[in-house]
Amino acid sequence: MSQKLFGTDGVRGRANAFPMTVELALALGRSVGTIFRARNGKVRVVIGKDTRLSCYMYENALIAGLCSMGVDTFMLGPLPTPAVAFITRAYRADAGIVISASHNPYYDNGIKFFSAEGFKLPDSWEQEMEALVAKGPATFEPFLPKDHEIGKNARINDADGRYIEFVKATFPRKLSLKNLKIALDCAHGAGYKVAPLVFRELDAEVFVCGNQPNGLNINDGCGALHPELVQKLVIDHKADVGIALDGDGDRVIMVDETAQVVDGDAILAICAKDMFQKGLLRNNKIVATVISNFGFIHAMRELGIDVITSSVGDRYVIQEMLKADTNLGGEPSGHIIFSDHNTTGDGLVSALQVLRIMIETGSRLSELATCFKRYPQVSINVRVASKPPLDTIAGLSLAIQAVEDALAGTGRIIVRYSGTENICRVLVEGPKRGIIQQHAEQVAKVIRDNSTTPR
């Protein structure tokens, strides 16, 4: 029986400990080579990474595994996740690989895979990879190529420039950012080189922080998870807008000119309203997640926009977008997918769409962000040692039901495990913050006391 390796966003864990070992990276490289060569014959794979110290060893292990199976590999160096998805398509590669743990601390890392079309691999392919890895090294021996068919490795030197031009092309040529002051936090991550260049080449005045990675400081008190740094930058430089990326650049949190945070729900609402009014929102539908704010959902429906909800995780948002044939979706965390432009969340593309709307409407971001009234939300993360089924945790079902009865349709409670960390998330939403705080703490206590003791 194969061991579960993949979560909602590839394989992820503490660097140099299971499952994120060099041996596993080698095996994953070999499994990708085996699967893709069986389907496509000669295979090319591009590999990008963020700025974590551990990326070097996984990069080399993946390349060794892939080349040993006859796959040609192409190194991109540090580059945002959406850039790897784009380069995979632009280079007509058979697959793309990103070495990153996104918003996690430096001591975590992960490996995720894209198809030739730039979409994350389907669950069935990941299960096939898990099965091959579980069988051990001997399972690859029948598929090893002859010595003259071993794969080659090369570096794509113009990947940064290609991606910068791609991102700039999503912004109208007739517009310019020359009258905007932008505070930019690159999270010491994968966007540290390309992000400042994008905005400067569009003529903005840019004040940058989080652009000096040392392998250990990615997401450390900066970036999308810590907008207080870009808030201060907005205040210090009297900027018109702040932009905070996460470690792999696939999501963005913005800050208005008063230093108030504008999260993914607000960004999605601003862009959905604009696209709807211009007749550009396909089928007048958008995809949000089950944790998107009630106020956001109500505001969109009042406009005439149908809101479809997905599970949490940008891959699930994209899956629902494809089913619903719509071109816009996103999450409160700042993953915003404009499928007319890219196949995954792209923090730079998302930020540019908001800046475009600001310029075209002559509005400040604080004005645009009033497009919906936000319900208070309380979210508590409970660290757990394991993830037993939630309905086996003693007293949890009763605690959740008690909250639902108390809210009586005026709010909601969502309890779920993180797909990438040993965390159980409790989210309660309702009209009165003090009350929902109590509800959330009561449910979190039940999980904290009983989560490792199945009923």
| Under 8 Å between Cβ of 227 and 210 | no
Task: Please tell me the distance from the alpha carbon of residue 260 to that of residue 263, in angstroms, as a whole number.
Answer: 10
> Which two tokens mark 81?
């996740």
| Under 8 Å between Cβ of 295 and 372 | yes
Residue 33 DSSP symbol:
H
Q: Which of 13, 77, 24, 82 is nearest to 245 (CA)?
A: 82
Q: What b/e readout covers 253-271, taking b as 16+ CB neighbours within 10 angstroms?
A: bbbbbebbbbbbbbbbbbb
**Angle between the N-to-C axes of helices 194-201 and 159-168, in degrees from 0 to 180, rounded to the nearest 10:** 40
* Active-site residue (options: 68, 100, 102, 350): 102
CA separation, residue 196 to residues 98, 115, 272, 348 (Å): 21, 28, 26, 10
| Under 8 Å between Cβ of 86 and 118 | yes
> Which two tokens mark 236?
């210090």
Beta carbons within 8 Å of 225's beta carbon, 6+ residues apart: 103, 219, 246
> Which two tokens mark 422?
């040993």
Task: Please tell me the distance from the alpha carbon of residue 358 to that of residue 353, in angstroms, as a whole number.
Answer: 9
Q: Is 210 left (phi over 0), alpha (psi -120 to 50) or beta?
A: left
Backbone angles phi, psi at 288, to 5 degrees: -120, -175
Kindly report each contact of residues 202-206 with a partner whose C-beta sits within 8 Å and lies 24 or more positions away, as own/partner.
202/168, 202/171, 202/176, 202/177, 202/352, 203/176, 203/177, 203/178, 204/177, 204/178, 204/180, 205/180, 205/181, 206/182
Please give the order of strands across the beta sheet that includes 285-289. Answer: 306-310, 285-289, 328-330, 336-338
> Which two tokens mark 158?
């113009």
Q: Which of 295, 348, 303, 353 is nearest to 327 (CA)?
A: 353
CA separation, residue 120 to residues 27, 172, 269 (Å): 19, 28, 25
54 in catalytic set: no
Task: Please tell me the distance from the alpha carbon of residue 239 to that of residue 253, in angstroms, as a whole number.
Answer: 15
Q: Which residues are catalytic?
A: 102
